[in-house]
Structure 1
Amino acid sequence: MESKLVSPRARAVTRDDLASAVYGRVGASRAEAHALVDMMLAEIVDTLSRGENVKLSSFGAFFVRSKSERIGRNPKTGVEAPIAARRVVVFKASKILGGRLNGPVLVDEPLGI
């Protein structure tokens, strides 16, 4: 079976796309759908900002990981520079999502959410 790589220029799903999907499936007004998507994303951001994990069943989990200070190198000039300690968000896909990405998928198969 031939493997297809996703183009780095592939279109990204936007907040508006998510709100349109909510609007189409739930039947809420467009304004309510946008507000719902914004509230959900704000809750995820607030939870991660507090250092807590976010787990979405059948989808995956977002974790906050602390990275210590390190020395980096400019690849163009070779000059070393310190990179400050920081916190980053890491996403780990669930087994169900991983299976959907890597296995045969039926068109009407629900994600399980």
Structure 2
Amino acid sequence: MEFTIEAIETPALTKAQLADLLFEQIGLNKREAKDMVEAFFDLIAARLIEGEDVKISGFGNFQIRVKAPRPGRNPRTGEHIPIGERRVATFHASAKLKEQIHGVPEAAHEPPVAWTVGADAQ
């Protein structure tokens, strides 16, 4: 199933636009589409809050990483301020998504052909 997003005018894809796409292209009613999008993102957020990784095949992985405490500085006053340990969400695109973004065909990942130069090559 392929979705088309020609009608989207803003540079960012919003949850409301996703719900509209589900309504227009799948046939869900608007309320079901909105609820499905909300449930999807709520589920991802809940898993990340619990410290679990979220892997979406063909798209990428969301992970929680703990950043170590470090020294910081207030740029306005120059005062040194300690920055405590914190959890951050990270996203790593899958190889398939990277290929789609960069337009690299799958064949480009094949090992290179070995060329040999020997007595026969003249």
TM-score range, shorter chain: 0.7 to 0.9
Q: Does 1:32 align with 2:51?
A: no
1:87 corresponds to which residue?
87
1:43 partner letter: L
What is the aligned-residue identity percentage? 39
Considering only aligned residues, what root-mean-square deviation do their CA atoms show, in Å?
1.7
Residue ranges of structure 2 left out of the alignment (5+ in a row): 1-9, 106-122
2:4 corresponds to which residue?
none
1:109 corresponds to which residue?
none
Greater relative CO, 1 or 2 (CA 8 Å, sep 6+): 1
| Alpha-carbon distance in 1 for matches of 2:94, 2:21 | 22
Instruction: Provide the TM-score with structure 1 as the length reference.
Output: 0.77
2:56 corresponds to which residue?
56
Aligned residue-pair number = 96
1:47 corresponds to which residue?
47
Q: CA deviation at 1:76?
A: 4.1
Secondary structure of the residue aligned to 1:55 is: strand
CA radius of gyration, larger in: 2
Instruction: Provide the TM-score with structure 2 as the length reference.
Output: 0.72
2:3 corresponds to which residue?
none
| Alpha-carbon distance in 1 for matches of 2:11, 2:96 | 23
1:55 partner letter: K
| Larger deviation, residues 50-59 vs 80-89 | 80-89
1:7 corresponds to which residue?
none
Residue ranges of structure 1 left out of the alignment (5+ in a row): 1-9, 106-113
Q: Deviations over 1:13-66 (max 9, x none)?
A: 111011111112210001100000000100000111110000001000000001
Secondary structure of the residue aligned to 1:87 is: strand
